[in-house]
Amino acid sequence: MDESKPDFEDIYIKLRSAEGRVYSDSEVKPLPDISPNHKHYKEWQVRKKSSEMLVDYIRQKENHKSILDLGSGNGWLTHKLGEINQFEVIGMDVNITELEQAARVFNDKPNLAFVCGDIFKLELKFDYIILASVIAYFNDLKKLISALLNNLNSGGEIHIIDSPFYNDTAKAKRNSEIYYNQIGFPEMAKHYNHHSLDALKEFNYSILYNPNSALNKFKRFFKPSLLPFYWVRVEGF
């Protein structure tokens, strides 16, 4: 996601493979739908729900037409966003392996494009910028959001979904270091960052879904697959 991580892709792909998160083309095509027998089925149920909520939200905004899916990976969410009529969608990542898969699998929509690049050098503007499961790979969330605001059209919005925000970032960092050591990729810890909502306090942001509200905590007690992550909207100038 930026020029300071030249070894990121190699470590990232090996880690995802060890975690069972590298998918075949036939598995990627129908995502977020996946076999109930898959080890990450419950996780994909969460992502299915969050993506449906996002698509429904954007579909109502007919006056806005362009989307950047930053950190698009294998392109499944980019593809879903591309199903919104007349929207132009770009999936952007630094991960060549998954970008090539995305371009190969989702080549059926002329309104989609997948590109490799440095977001801090991007000069295009969009109505929506989507950050799905990606903010942890940027070490400075304030810097990222500040840069992305310059890539928004007037009235544009940034949406952060499927991403954890932590009350205790130091504790979360220690837990990540333990996890990456246990799985055999200790070097990944330096690429995975932990952010709190405080990082957004200088921006015009609102919480569209709060997993920690009393009602949502109660609902998750009976249905653990409900969204565990905040859905945050940052509005542009």
Q: How many CB atoms lie under 10 A from the CB of residue 12?
A: 22
Q: What is the pLDDT of residue 1?
A: 40
CA angle 126, 159, 72 (to 5 degrees): 75
Rounded to two decimals, what is the model's pTM? 0.94
At residue 210, what are phi and psi to the nearest 5 degrees?
Answer: -115, 105
Give the CATH number of domain 8-235: 3.40.50.150
Measure the CA–CA gap between 101 and 114, rounded to whole angstroms. Answer: 10
| pLDDT(66) > 90 | yes
Residue-range domain boundaries for the chain: 8-235
Res 4 pLDDT > 50: no
pLDDT, one tens digit per residue, over 135-168 is: 999 999 999 999 999 999 999 999 999 999 999 9
| Whole-number Å distance between alpha carbons of 67 and 187 | 33
Q: Say if CB 163 and CB 133 are below 8 A apart.
A: yes
